[in-house]
Amino acid sequence: MFTDGNEMYVDDNEHDGYLDALHPGRAADPRDPGETFLNEDGFYRWDGMGGHRDTYAGLPVAGFHMLNDHGDPDPSHFAWPLHGSEMYEEADGPGFTAGLEKLLATVDGSGIQAIVVAGISARDAPAVLAANAHRLPRLRSLFLGFIEPDYQISWIQQGDITQVLEAFPRLERLDVRGSEGLHLRPVRHASLKVLRFETGGLPGEVVRALGQCDLPALEHLELWLGVAEYGGDATVNDLEGVLSGTGLPALRRLGLRDSEIQDEVAAAVAAAPVVARLEALSLAMGELSDAGAEALLSGRPLTHLRHLDLHHHFLTAPMAIRIRHALPGVEIDLSEPQEQLGGRYVAVAE
């Protein structure tokens, strides 16, 4: 098999069914992250064609110009941007405090349900938001690192996100983009339903802490594990708490994505107790090869899944066909097959 641009060709000695085993193409998915696993480029597009730069948690991201254009808006109808500084690189605690005061002078904080922390640094935003939790009693969704695609994901600064989980017990969704400086302590949170980490390298200590958390309402967990070069030093042993499912009784969608050890992750998932109650599983964006796929097919049954996402993979044509045949009732995404001539690589790193 070889590729030329966007076209795929299969050698005559390869099974004609290979093309049928691949997803016929990736159309823009209208669902919001948290409802499904989206392709990585959906988060960095400028054109609005299926991207999520201009929406969050199903809400349009507001601009301060809206007061002039639309009068006094209903705060619950928008996701509100919080900036720490005009110069994103210099965002700090005082900057976020000033930004929050500006936001709360613009709209009634008691009605705000969603906030996106914009800019290349969200490091001090959790502390500032936690200190002002009483002024944001209806906050349900928070995105830390809502940065435009001009910046590499590895540049985005984060801090201790435990603070927002402790300060907002009714928070239902938390998205984190970037992992430089990221910290998490084991915590119990009764309301969180969606937790997503988009990183080029997720620290092992964060993964271990997550496995020790008690999140009884969590339905969607998504980890972009990344590569060691950018801080992604998590091992399959670090995933043990997550894969046991002990603190995640409501989990239905699990994404362990973008990993340079994707074969090892797949083998661990194949034996994981949590798999039996999943509706959707994503092992996409990483260096998945036939070895990892073989482990999946030899492990716990996956026929109960509604969706299996393996896009951006390094599978051979026969293995892709085997997966289709083994899971006939499962929607499987095998798009974006990668060539192995230059070595394997993840979809998102730097």
> What is the rounded average pLDDT of the residues 231-238?
96
- pTM listed for this prediction: 0.89
The confidence band for 64, taking pLDDT boundaries of 50, 70 and 90, is: very low
42-62 pLDDT, tens per residue?
A: 554 444 443 446 788 989 888
Identity of the residue numbered 335? S
Contacts of 207 (CB under 8 A, 6+ apart): 223, 225, 234, 238, 239, 242
Task: State the Cα–Cα distance between residues 96 and 146, nearest whole angstrom.
Answer: 14
- 2 closest CA partner among 14, 210, 179, 189: 14
The answer to whether residue 327 scores a pLDDT higher than 70 is yes
Q: Is the pLDDT of residue 132 over 50?
A: yes
DSSP string, 275-335: GGG-SEEE--SS---HHHHHHHHHSS--TT-SEEE--SB---HHHHHHHHHH-TTSEEE--
Q: How do residues 82-124 score in pLDDT, each as one tens digit? A: 988 766 567 888 999 999 999 999 899 999 999 999 888 999 9
What pLDDT was estimated at residue 87?
60
Do 114 and 56 contact (CB within 8 A), yes or no?
A: yes
220 touches 37 (CB < 8 A): no
Q: Tokens 């054109």 sit at which residue?
A: 47
